[in-house]
Every structure is written in structure tokens, then in C-alpha cells.
Structure 1
Amino acid sequence: MSLAACGKKAEQAPPPPPEVGVITLATQPVANVIELPGRVQAVRTAEVRARVDGIVERRLYEEGTDVRAGQALFRIDPRENQAAYDAAKGALARAQAAATNAAQVVRRYSTLVGEQAISGQEYDAAVAQQRQGQADAASARAQLDRARLDLTYTIVTSPIAGRAGRAQVTEGALVSASQATLMTTVEQLNPVYVNFSQSRGDLLKLRRDLASGAVRAPQLDRVRVTLELEDGTRYPQAGHLDFLDMSVDENTGTVSIRSEFPNPQRVLLPGQFVRARIEGGVTTQGLQVPQRAVQIGPQGASVMVVGKNNVAAARPVRLGELQGGNWVIRSGLAPGDRVIVNGLQKVRPGAPVRIAPPGRQAPQGSAAGARPAAPAAAR
């Protein structure tokens, strides 16, 4: 009798399957947001270089300040260029005097040749001398213009309006036109560009989705872009796409994309790393799951779904962006799948589960468009 009692105690009933809360996925319009890393670039960058040889006399701007287009930045010793200008001016005066004298000779000879007082050969020589004088005067005038231009180059000006950087030369430095000595750099920082790249495969998929109507997107210049800075804060002003390259980088297999952002406070600086969120339209048949339903590990992201006979199974998924409290699902799930959102800590893949009645399933944080699943008895 005692052995029979012990046998009955050993044959205890197995524990019931854990109770879980699930949602049944349904398609819905989802914002098609693409997240890409990028770097800031100035809209315009001008390298200010020497255009004449000489010694730098003075820096005429304050480093790191805004300058106007045409504002003087450096002064190069002008004495040598001034002497060359004066010499060219004198050479022009001599050439003009010679041309005037030759013209007067031609006028006198034109009367004498009609009276046969001089030979035709002498007259032709006088005409040739006049033309030679006119050519010499034109050449001297061009030399004077060149000397005047070189003299103006002794005052180095900014070609664009923007922020002038650190001076690359100091007073007393010898600069060279032949070596194009870099003197400083001016960058236009409002607005700025942000450059990033997208893989060719993702771009092809997006184009297929646009052609099929699975994604509705605005025109290129109306695609809104927002930025996240290195410290995780959101840049307050939105930008827009303004360039999409038509060639693929052979080394990386990516396509270059560029956006433009207003930058009145100079928060964005050239070379700065940012993360861009491109709002590329709406996916008409999108899927979302609550953030708490997704498990992310070394092998990637996965969710637990309830399959046939209420058996739990792990399903790997490819995540999109996080919108509110929901992950956008790029692949791995389909409409009608039952995703476990509550009670995950008790669930093991391949083990049966018991679906909680709709009244006991916590609806907060559930994906928009999804609905709590009915228990097995009601399905």
C-alpha cells in the first residue's frame, strides 16, 4: 500500500503551458524612413591662393570670422608689381608715339605719291611702318593691362562670402604664383550639404517598390530629411534631398546622395558626422511590432510567434527604423502572424503556449494596425 501511494505522488500532472499575450499582424501604411550615416560638407569652399610672387606684408582679416565676397584678406608687397606697371605704362606711351609718327608719315606720303614725288615702294613701306606701330601699341596696351592685373593681385580678396579659416601664411612669408601658395580657406556654412551613401541593392528595391505602388514617395526635392547629431540630439531644422548620383562607386557598390540643410547658427560644421533620417514616402503594406516583442542578439533580431497547435517558434526578422514604440519589419513576418508581446520570459521555442483571452492582454504599446489575437478555443 505504501509503494502504491508513492507511485501516485510521482505521477503528478505536467505544468500547464505558459500564458502569453499576442497580436495578429495586419498591414498598414507605414512611413518609409531610411536611416543612413553621413558627413557635413560646406556648400562652397574656396581655397585662397597667391596669384603673384611676393612677400606678405599684412593679414587683413580676423581668423575664424565671416567675410564678404571681395573683402581683402592679405596684402602682398606691391613695389615690384608697381614698378612693372610703371614700365609697361611707359612702353605703351613710346609705342603710341611711334604709331602716331608713322600715321603722319603716311598722310604726307599719300599726297606725294599721287604727284609721283616719291615711289610707290616708299609709300608702301610707310604704310607697313604705320601698321607695325599700331601692332606695337596694341601689344604694349596688353602688357599694361597684365601689369595692372598683377598689381591688383597684391591685395588678396575672398572670392565668396563665408567663414574664413586659419591663415596658412604669416607676415614676411614668400608666396609664389607658380606654386599657387595656399593662404587660407573660406567656407560657406549656411546652408550646408550632408553627403551619405546607399547600397545599390537597397536603391533597386526602392525603385521596384515605387514602380509597383508598394511605396508612395514625393519628388526628389520634396523628400524631407532630419538629422541626429553625435550626442544623440535631434537637429532642430529639417532639410531636403537635392542630389542623387547616377553612377555606382565601383569600390563600395553604393550610390551617393546629398541633402541640403539650413545652418543659421553654424551648428553643423564641415566634416562633422551625423545620422540622417530620410522620409522617403509611405509603404502602403507595412508591418510593425511593439519594441518589447523584438529580441536583439549577436545573430540579429528575432521575435517569438505562435504557430500551428499553439507552439512557439523563434522567427528571425530584418528590422527597419524605430517609429514611436514600434519596430518596422522589413522582412521575416507576414500578415496574420501571431507575435508574442507579453510573457516572453516564460516561452521556449518548440514548446506549447496558451494564448490569454483578449481582456487580459495588455494593449498598451501594441503596434498600430495590429489586433490582440483570440485564444485558441475561439480561433
Structure 2
Amino acid sequence: MTSPLRSLALACAVVVALASCKKKEEQQAMPPPEVGVLDAKPQSLPLQRELVGRLSAYRSADVRARVAGVLEKRLYTEGTDVKEGQPLFRIDPAPLRAALASAQGQLASAEATYANAKIAAGRARSLAPQAYVSKSDLDTAEATERTSAAAMQQARAAVETARINLGYAAVAAPIAGRAGKQQVTEGALVGQGDTTLLTTIDQLDPLYVNFSMSSDELAQLRQAQAQGSVALNAEGKSTVQVKLGDGSTYAQSGTLDFSDTAVDPATGSVTLRALLPNPDRVLLPGAFVSFAANLGQRNNAYLIPQQAIQRDAKGAYALVVGKDGKVARKDVATVGQQANQWIVGSGLQAGDQVIVSGLQKAKEGAPAKATPWTPDAPGQDPNQPQGGAVAQGQGQAAAPQAQQATGQAQAAADGATPAAAADSKPKQQ
């Protein structure tokens, strides 16, 4: 190689080396990317489950004719509230009065027969020692006395029965509540060989809310309560909050008062029941209602914005900035959802700096500069919970949206240049 060519090659090599050194110096001088972080704070959250149930009356009584007769009159207004013991119907009492009078006459006859038999038996007993009356006649007199006494008791019972039947001519309300539609019109023969249904009374305050939960979910809840991760309220009861048809919340809250002892083999669920006050009679039996069941307080839970929780084949995880200033992965378990935030039951510790914004710039093991994350709108601060926590099954619907947002962030990261990564500021998410 000639001397000029050798000199040119040497000069090119020097230029390339200087450019490479400068590039490395620029890369070494690049500051770590800024990310918005949220300090994880454990808190107690109300554990709620969105359910659907059916209302039923606290007490329901069929009003039936207990004696045979012609229905004379209805004494109440259909669909109104009645008091216990209030007359509702009147059955023709004339045949019943006649039956009572007949029974009273038979009682008088039985009493007279008994009185005569008692005198005869007493006379026979007084004459028997002197042998003026045979032993056979004495036995007959005493037997007649006993038979007459029994007949008198039967007559008295017949009178009492006739008196009770006469009382049944006035059909009264067995319980207090709202009386329904009249089932039999006036003039109809009722109680003839059967107890005819006249109407039904439902007690509307309080009402029952009947619903069901899967046996697996109920078992997990009870296990969590036993372990202390979920606690009931101060009264030791779960509460329910009913939503009305217009979307508003019913003013009164109910309490869980019954849990069935067996699992329905057809559905794999357990029947539960809540007691709901209904002082204004706004709710009616038979209606379906949606409600939030407050199953207790979940202890040591973390509210984390949805965009901070990512998912892969291993499951849910969050990226945190460690004490060494580097990004680390923490596998977490989400147990529910509250608004636009995940409820994390395990995997985080108090004080963990969870990365919420700038996820596209955060790489595991790489340094990152943590800056406080500020929510875009009021009510998004996880440390100020708004409303109740929804159980895990209710929150899964939001997972696809969160995954989509995460995928878009990762796509942006793949196309970002080093200079753009160094100059960009953490975005509010």
C-alpha cells in the first residue's frame, strides 16, 4: 500500500474511533428515565359483591273460611293494610247460631239425665248395706251415673264447638299486613268440604331478600374470615344495600340473617337471605332487585390503578422502583376491583413505589428516577377509596381494557429512540 493510501486509512480509523467514543460518552451521560410512582399503603376496604335477589314477605298468611256457609260481605278494602284480628269477611251466621242452640239444648238434656242418674246411684249405695238393693242393681245404677256424666261432658264439648264455629263466621286477619285481592265473591258457598281461600295477607315490613352464592366463593369468604384477612362489621353481620329500578340507592340497608346448611346439587350454590326494613312499603314481595352485599372489611389491601397492574403468562405483576433505584418486578394477586383500581391482596408491601406512569420506559433491572404520580381526576387517588370494593369475579371485565392499554404502552416502547426516552417526561395516566 502506498504511503498516501495508508495515511488516508489511518485518518478514517481515527475519525471512526473518535465518533464511537463520543457516542459512548453520550450514552453513559444519559440520565435514568423518569417514572411516576405511587407509594403503596395498606388499608381496610369494604368487600362488596354485586348480586341479584328476589323479595319475599316476612310473613304471609292465607285467610281461609274455617266453617261452611254463604259469604255475606267483605269488610276490608283490597290492597290496604289491616291489623291483626281485624274482621275481613262475614259468613252467614244463622245456621251456626241454630247449631249452637241445638247443642245447648242437648247439653241441658244431658245435665238432667246425669242429675237423675246421680240421685239413683246415691240411693242404691245407701240401701245396699241393708240388702234392700241387689249388688247387680247397684252396679247398674253406678254405671248409668258414669255414662250420664260422660254424655254431659260430650254435650258441653258440642256447645263449645258450636260457639267456636259461630265465631268463625266473622273471618279475622291472622296477622298484620297488606290484604290482597278477594278470591271469592259475596254469595258464594265457602268452606263446604274444604277451607276455601278468601285472600292473602303479606307483612311488608320488613322484607326478605333471597339470593344465592356459589359454594366455592362462600367457602373462600369464610376461610378469609377465619384467617383474619376479612372481618365483619362491629355487629358481626354482613349488610346489603338495595338499588331501585331507577338506579338510586334504597335508603334502608339490610342484614344477612340466614345461610342454608346444604348446597343445591343442581346449581352448586348456597341459598342466603337478608332482612331488609321497608317502613314506607316501597318494595313489594316477588320483585327482583340488584344489591351490593357488604361481606365485611378486607384488611391489609392495596388500591392500585389499573394501568399499573400488568399481566403475562405468569400472572399479574407490578413494576416497582426499589431502594437501589432500579426497576423490579413484583408478582401480585388481585382480589377485586374498585372503580378504576385493582385491589391487591398480596404481593406488595407498605412503602413499595409502584410505577403507574412511564411504564414504557421502565425496564426490569434498569435504573429509573421515581417521581410522585398524580391522578388526572378527583376520586382516582387509591389512598382515598370511593365506595365499596367489588369482589374478584366482578372486576375481571376490566382486565381486557387494562391489557390493551399495557400492550399499547409496550408497542410505544419498542419504537422509542434513546434520545426520546431521555427527554420525555412521565405522562399522567
Query: Please, what TM-score do these two structures have when normalized by structure 2?
Result: 0.68
Q: What is the match of residue 111 of structure 1?
A: 126
**Larger Rg: 1 or 2?**
2
1:54 to 47, 59, 69: 69
Give 1:123-202 correspondences, 5 Å limit: 123-176=138-191, 178-202=193-217
The residue identity in structure 1 corresponding to 2:158 is Q
Cα-to-partner distance string for 1:171-199 (whole Å, 9 max, x where unaligned): 01221253321111111111222122121
Q: What is the match of residue 343 of structure 2?
A: 329
Q: Once the 2 structures are TM-superposed, how far is the Cα of residue 19 of structure 1 from its aligned partner?
A: 9.5
Tell me how far apart the structure 2 counterparts of residues 263 and 167 of structure 1 sit (CA, whole Å).
Answer: 24
Q: Does structure 1 retain, via aligned residues, the 8 Å contact 2:62–2:201?
A: yes
Tell me how far apart the structure 1 counterparts of residues 383 and 120 of structure 2 sit (CA, whole Å).
Answer: 100
Describe the SS at the equivalent of 2:250: coil
Is 2:226 the counterpart of 1:211? yes
- In structure 2, relative to structure 1, the CA distance for the partners of 1:34 and 1:49 (3 Å cut) is same
Tell me how far apart the structure 1 counterparts of residues 373 and 109 of structure 2 sit (CA, whole Å).
Answer: 106
Name the stretch that deviates more: 242-251 or 123-132: 242-251
Tell me how far apart the structure 1 counterparts of residues 252 and 50 of structure 2 sit (CA, whole Å).
Answer: 17
Tell me how far apart the structure 2 counterparts of residues 259 and 125 of structure 1 sit (CA, whole Å).
Answer: 69
Q: Does structure 2 retain, via aligned residues, the 8 Å contact 1:50–1:177?
A: no
Cα-to-partner distance string for 1:117-160 (whole Å, 9 max, x where unaligned): 22121111011001000011111111121111111111111001
Q: Does structure 1 retain, via aligned residues, the 8 Å contact 2:304–2:344?
A: no
Describe the SS at the equivalent of 1:367: coil
Aligned length: 339
Tell me how far apart the structure 1 counterparts of residues 52 and 353 of structure 2 sit (CA, whole Å).
Answer: 33
Q: Once the 2 structures are TM-superposed, how far is the Cα of residue 331 of structure 1 from its aligned partner?
A: 7.5
- In structure 2, relative to structure 1, the CA distance for the partners of 1:360 and 1:265 (3 Å cut) is closer
Is 2:279 the counterpart of 1:264? yes
- In structure 2, relative to structure 1, the CA distance for the partners of 1:246 and 1:43 (3 Å cut) is same
Q: Does structure 1 retain, via aligned residues, the 8 Å contact 2:179–2:199?
A: yes
Describe the SS at the equivalent of 1:237: strand
Q: Which has more helix, going by share of residues?
A: 2
Identity of aligned residues (%): 40
- In structure 2, relative to structure 1, the CA distance for the partners of 1:253 and 1:326 (3 Å cut) is same
Tell me how far apart the structure 2 counterparts of residues 292 and 66 of structure 1 sit (CA, whole Å).
Answer: 55
Q: Does structure 2 retain, via aligned residues, the 8 Å contact 1:229–1:273?
A: no
Q: What is the match of residue 418 of structure 2?
A: none
Q: Once the 2 structures are TM-superposed, how far is the Cα of residue 20 of structure 1 from its aligned partner?
A: 7.9
Q: Does structure 1 retain, via aligned residues, the 8 Å contact 2:308–2:319?
A: no
Q: Does structure 2 retain, via aligned residues, the 8 Å contact 1:288–1:367?
A: yes
Gaps of 5+ in 1: 1-17, 296-301, 371-375
Tell me how far apart the structure 2 counterparts of residues 334 and 362 of structure 1 sit (CA, whole Å).
Answer: 20
Q: Once the 2 structures are TM-superposed, how far is the Cα of residue 278 of structure 1 from its aligned partner?
A: 2.6
- In structure 2, relative to structure 1, the CA distance for the partners of 1:358 and 1:81 (3 Å cut) is same
Name the stretch that deviates more: 80-89 or 59-68: 80-89
Cα-to-partner distance string for 1:290-349 (whole Å, 9 max, x where unaligned): 478799xxxxxx99966999899xx99967353xx4445377986669565x689xx8xx
Cα-to-partner distance string for 1:218-253 (whole Å, 9 max, x where unaligned): 477543332212221101122222222222222222
- In structure 2, relative to structure 1, the CA distance for the partners of 1:219 and 1:204 (3 Å cut) is farther
The residue identity in structure 1 corresponding to 2:220 is K
Computed over aligned residues only, the root mean square deviation of the Cα atoms, in angstroms, reads: 3.7
The residue identity in structure 2 corresponding to 1:144 is V
2:371 to 337, 358, 362: 358
Is 2:140 the counterpart of 1:86? no
Name the stretch that deviates more: 105-114 or 161-170: 105-114
Q: What is the match of residue 28 of structure 2?
A: none
Is 2:303 the counterpart of 1:288? yes
Q: What is the match of residue 320 of structure 1?
A: 336
- In structure 2, relative to structure 1, the CA distance for the partners of 1:286 and 1:360 (3 Å cut) is closer
- In structure 2, relative to structure 1, the CA distance for the partners of 1:137 and 1:328 (3 Å cut) is farther
Gaps of 5+ in 2: 1-32, 386-420, 423-429
Tell me how far apart the structure 2 counterparts of residues 356 and 187 of structure 1 sit (CA, whole Å).
Answer: 67
Tell me how far apart the structure 2 counterparts of residues 204 and 133 of structure 1 sit (CA, whole Å).
Answer: 69
Tell me how far apart the structure 2 counterparts of residues 367 and 291 of structure 1 sit (CA, whole Å).
Answer: 10
Q: Does structure 2 retain, via aligned residues, the 8 Å contact 1:25–1:369?
A: no
Is 2:290 the counterpart of 1:275? yes
Q: What is the match of residue 75 of structure 1?
A: 90
Tell me how far apart the structure 2 counterparts of residues 62 and 234 of structure 1 sit (CA, whole Å).
Answer: 32
Name the stretch that deviates more: 24-33 or 42-51: 24-33
Describe the SS at the equivalent of 2:85: coil
